A and B are shown apart, each in its own frame.
Chain A
Amino acid sequence: MADGVPTWEEVARDYGRFLYNVAYRLAGNDDDAQDLVQESLIRIRKGLERYEPGSLEGWLARIVTNVFLDEVRRRKRRPADALPDDPERVLPTSPAADEVPTGLSDEVQRALGALPDDFRVPVVLCDVSDLSYEQIADATGVPIGTVRSRIHRGRRLLRAALVADGVTGP
């Protein structure tokens, strides 16, 4: 690490889990999360020379978010790519990861995945990435008041979905 700027290998090593979690919660499945992380690291590698030390996690979350939103836009242009169950896998999903009892995780992830992107992104950045509203506004390019509103509405929608699924009481 020189002048407080890490190498991309250091980012992958120290923030890989952070990147993967954000990607997984945004995408909702391992295949797409792997693709998002890989593309994000390529952009991180290219962008690090212009990175100015600050909130590294905020910067990384911004890149993952932008890769995700680019992919969403690309799939909207090519709906054939938007199949939910793409059988093609770069790597097999970890059997251990699938076998671990997740409690309500699957239901919560499903409800999260059903949120419109405008709500899911700020909610994930807030509750999964633990970014501040200011960092989320910077990452998503929307005013902080909009971030606040979308997080609140996103949580209410998520709560309503969980109640409708019988996951939790009203």
Chain B
Amino acid sequence: MSDLQPDLQPDLLSAYLDGELTDAERVAVEARLEESAEWRDELVEVRAARDALRGLSERDAPPGFWDAVHARVAADDPVDEALDATPDDPDDEVVVPLTAARGSRRRWTWIAASVAAVAAVVAIIVVPHRSEVSPNVAAVVAQHGAQGSDNGDPISMLAPVGPLAGFRR
């Protein structure tokens, strides 16, 4: 840190690269760069980032875009605009759906989701509960238990689910 400029901030380095400093600031920054390797390293970093950004190629809009935009902007009804309470600053206006197609698709998505939700609720209310489905499992179990109790052996009434297992000797 320079004794002459103890409060010099490194963010001056980007401004230095961009030619946004006063003469006095520029002289101070150059003096600091002379004495500080840390500042020199930081200058290299921000210069590399700046070069990378400025080296980006220009992006072209897709074919047909400008014709579509002209049609859309020209179709923006000036009568409606006149009736609007036009703000002083155009930037204060509310963002409208930016593309009619996208806005329309989103509206249909919401409608479809709403219909699906209603259908789900109806299904839950109207579809019979499991206990009402034939065969009635609860009744079969009760009957089976009663039969088992009659002969005093609830287990032997049950059909084996597989070959009887036993220990071999």
A interface residues with partner B (beta carbon < 8 Å): 8-9, 12, 16-17, 20-21, 24-25, 30, 33-39, 41-47, 50, 62-63, 66-67, 70-71, 74, 81, 86, 88, 90-94, 97, 100, 102, 104-105, 108-109, 112, 123-124, 126-128, 132-133, 148-149, 151-153, 155-156, 158-159, 162, 168
Most buried by A among B13, B49, B62: B49
Partner of B63, one of A16, A43, A86, A94: A94
Q: Is the CB of B91 within 8 A of A62?
A: yes
Q: Is the CB of B62 within 8 A of A38?
A: no
Chain A residues lying within 8 Å of B89, measured Cβ to Cβ, are 47
Min CB distance, B168 to chain A, in Å?
64
Q: A43-B91, A90-B68, A152-B15 are in contact. Are A159 and B102 (CB under 8 A)?
A: no
Chain A residues lying within 8 Å of B70, measured Cβ to Cβ, are 9, 12
Asked if B52 is at the interface (CB within 8 A of a chain A CB), the reply is yes
Asked if B150 is at the interface (CB within 8 A of a chain A CB), the reply is no
Chain A residues lying within 8 Å of B23, measured Cβ to Cβ, are none
The number of chain B residues touching the other chain, given as a range, is 35 or more
Q: A148-B15, A155-B49 are in contact. Are A38 and B72 (CB under 8 A)?
A: yes
Q: Is the CB of A41 within 8 A of B69?
A: yes
Partner of A148, one of B14, B61, B86, B101: B14
Partner of A127, one of B48, B54, B93, B101: B54
Min CB distance, A57 to chain B, in Å?
14
CA distance A66 to B102 in the complex (A): 21
Chain A residues lying within 8 Å of B20, measured Cβ to Cβ, are 132-133, 148
Chain B residues lying within 8 Å of A35, measured Cβ to Cβ, are 98-99, 102
CA distance A38 to B76 in the complex (A): 11
CA distance A38 to B58 in the complex (A): 18
Q: Is the CB of A38 within 8 A of B98?
A: yes
Q: Is the CB of B11 within 8 A of A42?
A: no
Partner of B60, one of A36, A81, A97, A124: A97
Q: Is the CB of B91 within 8 A of A112?
A: no
Q: Is the CB of B60 within 8 A of A20?
A: yes
Q: Is the CB of A91 within 8 A of B49?
A: no
Q: Identify 15 residue pairs between A and B in the complex whose beta-carbon atoms are under 8 Å apart, listed by A's number.
A: A20-B60, A20-B61, A36-B98, A42-B96, A43-B93, A47-B89, A90-B68, A90-B99, A94-B62, A133-B20, A149-B11, A151-B15, A151-B18, A152-B13, A158-B49
Q: Is the CB of B14 within 8 A of A152?
A: yes
